[in-house]
Structure 1
Amino acid sequence: MTKPKLVFNPVAKEYFENPYEIYRRMRDEAPIYYNEEEDFYALTRHADVAAGFKDYESFSSAYGCDLTMVRSGEVPQKSIIFMDPPDHRHMRSLLNKAFTPRAIQSQRATVEELIDHYLSQADPDNFDLVQDFSAPFPVEVITRMAGVPEEYRQQVRHWIDTSLERLPGQLEFSERNIQANVESAMYYYSLVQERRKNPQDDMISRLIAAEIPDENGGVRKLDDVEITGFAALLGGAGAETVTKLLGNAAVVFAQHPDQWQLLRENRNLIPDAVEELLRYVGPVQYNVRYSVKDVELPSGRVPAHKPVFLIGASANRDERAWDNAETFDITRNRTQAQNLGFGYGIHSCLGAALARMECTIALDRLLDFMPRFEVDFDGLERVTMQNVAGLQQGSGARVEVIAGQRKDKNR
């Protein structure tokens, strides 16, 4: 019996439901995959994807990070993820100051407060882990840091979700996507202008005051459009990553109760569990780059002037890089390969340390809230989004707490 034709379609219904089977076939059958109909390439093996992330001179970010953007040929809005060096280096060094180890640790009390607040409000008899917990708290953390007033913080999350939404079969931006991006940009632009008049102790105010090198050897201030782009990006990255990872975690641990039991017995394993979750079910599936020249990779050649998918989620399950790569194991040897869950190279996630801290604290609290639990697998519904994988709010990761802090006081 012949196999069905190998087709990677990033907006196919089957892809949204389970991307990992198509990734496995691509790694085995077409590691340098070419889609003739849509004229793009895709890399799935760890050696190739890691090389692609590192080689910014060959794989440019300046054309965008989504297939539609890259194919348009138009340079996108000013944002650090759409930059190559030297512009990227200047912006990265500026934004890094907001995510130093000291700056991240200064957020610990806020993270703990928000996690405890949302869990205290949750009903263990009817607990949707995404809707009640992992969706609302991460956006509160990052938007507080940025300087977004309380009444707009959850609205930021809804703009992000809508802007990333892709219905099955939808490659181009929809009116809903565009409208959400416009509303988000208008809001942040007005907030930047407000902070110019009224500086506060927040990230937007610090970006307004900052200076970066200019092309003439001097220094310049960031303009309102640049700051708007950075603020919107940080809000999106800070909200989506942790939200999706914790929702995925509930499902994976329900499927592997022995691993949850390991955490119950040894909470020192929580940071390792976060790393394994990032490897096994990381929320970011891929990034799209533009090949500015012919590139030779370990598995073959990518020609110039093509959109190229760097599929980190596939690379993280590559059996050529990891022993038992398709097995979820929080005690695995993490030195075998580079975990690409937060990217790699110059565009690795700015807020990775913050996201790791949020997930570590959240898992610790969830061990108390639901030491024993089951997931309603029949009710699970996956998001259909641009390059992000996770569970829908309101229908995904509905958890039945068998033993929890309210139900079983004597556990």
Structure 2
Amino acid sequence: MTTSTVVFDPFSDDFFNSPYDTYRRMRDEAPVYYSEKYDFYALTRHADVSAAMKDHVTYSSARGIDLQMVRSNDPVPPLMIMMDPPDHRRMRSLVNKVFTPRAIERQRQTVVTQIDRFLGAVDPENFDVVQDFSALFPVEVITEMLGVPVELRQKVRLLLDKQLAREYGKVEMPEEGIAAGIETGMMYYEVIQEHRANPQDDMITDLINVELDRDGEMTKLDDIEITGFASLLGGAGAETVTKLVGNAIVTFADHPDQWEMMRNDRSLIPNAVEELLRWEAPAQYLVRYSTRDIALHDNIIPANNPVLLCLGSANRDERAFANADSFDITRGRTEAQNLGLGYGIHSCLGAALARMECVIALDKLLDFMPRFEVDRDRLTRVAMTNVVGWHHAPVRVLR
């Protein structure tokens, strides 16, 4: 193993606040990084991360999606993101039809309505972009698609935040997070029972009715499997856009010229979303485990070890992107694969919906606050497993 003095701790201030200098050193000094403290390996170069994301045989998801799960080797829930093919392929095919371009486009008015609802309720001079806006509307969109009752929709978000939260220096989910996970499962279970008794035009009813070919036998999903789908879709649909919009506003506060450029040319918004995903994607790494010894960069990753695939580092790799540490909403999209919403078989199922929500949100914010400044003294980051983003992002609107 190549020796290096760089230290990468995904449960530290350095990670939660801005890991990009550490990533750069890892790419240069330790492209195959080993953490003695947490006993994991990490890949940070774009070529290595993107190749690993396409190689589910070598880098498996079947032991779970976070470091605690993979290290424990305990049985994992029947969630699609914790499966390798062929099980993953069968499960993903069930929900692919819900996220077709036509199906996503049908959600456009819902997205507009929810964004207008929450943006219309904020103080027009001072508000918290995250707590008053971006934390609120995405969960309404995805839970409406699922069929969650109106009175439970924001609860989904609050419970998810508790499940993702991590204490500094600790891999394990806090007791509050474990309790929130149990409460989420019970909530969805009750919703499923209501939908079994009273079918509706939503995703949960579709999942109840669908049949799955399991080794030649057509069977329906059980309540645990449907709960897993709902938890996964509800969580990802709420969290990604919340963090991405919050990150966007703080980033544009650092680059007001590009906010103005985008305000004058709204056709730049979709490309700006891609650059935001490259610049500071909400999900900074994925966890896999090695199924065999892996020889890479004169190092060996032994079999049966956790491997962190650092998407956030790969998207800042100067080997893949010109001027990788410069934020540029006019950047061309042909340099390298943007890994901000995943890649390969586990790419984000709702990527098109997330992009649409962000495009609409930025368009509305450009009108609502043509000029603004961030109250940097009150900016606070989240401390969550694999997630980088803002908990509070207060702004003052300049008229």
| TM-score bucket of the superposed structures, by smaller chain | over 0.9
Distance of 1:346 and 1:298 partners within structure 2: 25
User: Is 1:13–1:169's contact at 8 Å kept on the other side of the alignment?
Assistant: no
In structure 2, what is the equivalent of residue 384 of structure 1?
A: 383
Query: Deviations for 1:373-406, whole angstroms, at most 9, x for unmatched residues?
Result: 00111211100001111111xxx21111002xxx
In structure 2, what is the equivalent of residue 152 of structure 1?
A: 152
User: Is 1:48–1:298's contact at 8 Å kept on the other side of the alignment?
Assistant: no
In structure 2, what is the equivalent of residue 270 of structure 1?
A: 269
Q: Structure 2 counterpart of 1:265, which letter? A: N
Distance of 1:245 and 1:317 partners within structure 2: 17
Query: How many angstroms does 1:75 deviate by?
Result: 2.4
Distance of 1:301 and 1:265 partners within structure 2: 51
Q: Structure 1 counterpart of 2:319, which letter? A: R
Query: How many angstroms does 1:242 deviate by?
Result: 0.2
Distance of 1:367 and 1:95 partners within structure 2: 34
Query: How many angstroms does 1:300 deviate by?
Result: 5.0
Distance of 1:10 and 1:87 partners within structure 2: 30
User: Is 2:279–2:316's contact at 8 Å kept on the other side of the alignment?
Assistant: yes
Q: Which secondary structure does the structure 2 equivalent of 1:121 belong to?
A: coil
In structure 1, what is the equivalent of residue 354 of structure 2?
A: 355
Query: How many angstroms does 1:281 deviate by?
Result: 1.0
Query: Deviations for 1:33-90, whole angstroms, at most 9, x for unmatched residues?
Result: 0112322100100001001100001111110010000001012111100010001001
In structure 2, what is the equivalent of residue 83 of structure 1?
A: 83
In structure 1, what is the equivalent of residue 11 of structure 2?
A: 11
Q: Structure 2 counterpart of 1:347, which letter? A: H
Mean Cα deviation higher: 122-131 or 233-242: 122-131
Q: Cα gap change, 1:162/1:299 in structure 2, threshold over 3 Å: closer, same or farther? A: farther
Q: Cα gap change, 1:70/1:108 in structure 2, threshold over 3 Å: closer, same or farther? A: same
Query: Deviations for 1:104-129, whole angstroms, at most 9, x for unmatched residues?
Result: 00000000011111111111222110
User: Is 1:48–1:299's contact at 8 Å kept on the other side of the alignment?
Assistant: no
Unaligned runs of 5+ in 1: 404-411
Q: Cα gap change, 1:300/1:259 in structure 2, threshold over 3 Å: closer, same or farther? A: farther
- The reply to whether residue 132 of structure 1 matches residue 132 of structure 2 is yes
Q: Structure 2 counterpart of 1:162, which letter? A: K
Q: Within 5 Å, which residues of 2 pair with 1:332-343? A: 332-343=331-342
User: Is 2:188–2:227's contact at 8 Å kept on the other side of the alignment?
Assistant: yes
Distance of 1:369 and 1:159 partners within structure 2: 30
Distance of 2:297 and 2:154 partners within structure 1: 44
CA-based RMSD: 1.3
In structure 1, what is the equivalent of residue 398 of structure 2?
A: 402
Q: Within 5 Å, which residues of 2 pair with 1:209-288? A: 209-215=209-215, 217-288=216-287
User: Is 1:147–1:203's contact at 8 Å kept on the other side of the alignment?
Assistant: yes
Q: Structure 2 counterpart of 1:114, which letter? A: Q
User: Is 1:279–1:317's contact at 8 Å kept on the other side of the alignment?
Assistant: yes
In structure 1, what is the equivalent of residue 162 of structure 2?
A: 162
Distance of 1:292 and 1:390 partners within structure 2: 32
Q: Cα gap change, 1:235/1:299 in structure 2, threshold over 3 Å: closer, same or farther? A: farther
Query: How many angstroms does 1:301 deviate by?
Result: 4.0
Distance of 2:267 and 2:300 partners within structure 1: 43
In structure 2, what is the equivalent of residue 308 of structure 1?
A: 307
Distance of 1:18 and 1:359 partners within structure 2: 22
Q: Within 5 Å, which residues of 2 pair with 1:28-177? A: 28-177=28-177
In structure 2, what is the equivalent of residue 407 of structure 1?
A: none
User: Is 2:165–2:173's contact at 8 Å kept on the other side of the alignment?
Assistant: no
Distance of 2:113 and 2:299 partners within structure 1: 50
In structure 2, what is the equivalent of residue 408 of structure 1?
A: none
- The reply to whether residue 365 of structure 1 matches residue 364 of structure 2 is yes
User: Stretches of 4+ moved more than 3 A in 1?
Assistant: 296-301
Distance of 1:146 and 1:71 partners within structure 2: 32
In structure 1, what is the equivalent of residue 195 of structure 2?
A: 195
Query: How many angstroms does 1:15 deviate by?
Result: 1.8
Distance of 2:264 and 2:125 partners within structure 1: 25
Query: Deviations for 1:206-251, whole angstroms, at most 9, x for unmatched residues?
Result: 0010011112x12111110000011001111001000000000000
Distance of 2:157 and 2:38 partners within structure 1: 31
Q: Which secondary structure does the structure 1 equivalent of 2:380 belong to?
A: coil
> TM-score, structure 1 length as denominator?
0.95
Query: How many angstroms does 1:13 deviate by?
Result: 2.1
Distance of 1:58 and 1:44 partners within structure 2: 17
Query: How many angstroms does 1:264 deviate by?
Result: 1.0
Query: Deviations for 1:145-195, whole angstroms, at most 9, x for unmatched residues?
Result: 000000000000000000000121121121111000000011111111221
User: Is 2:167–2:174's contact at 8 Å kept on the other side of the alignment?
Assistant: no
Distance of 1:101 and 1:232 partners within structure 2: 22
Distance of 1:298 and 1:253 partners within structure 2: 37
User: Is 2:17–2:388's contact at 8 Å kept on the other side of the alignment?
Assistant: no
Distance of 2:385 and 2:225 partners within structure 1: 23
Query: How many angstroms does 1:295 deviate by?
Result: 2.5
Q: Which secondary structure does the structure 2 equivalent of 1:151 belong to?
A: helix
Unaligned runs of 5+ in 2: none
Q: Which secondary structure does the structure 2 equivalent of 1:308 belong to?
A: strand
> TM-score, structure 2 length as denominator?
0.97
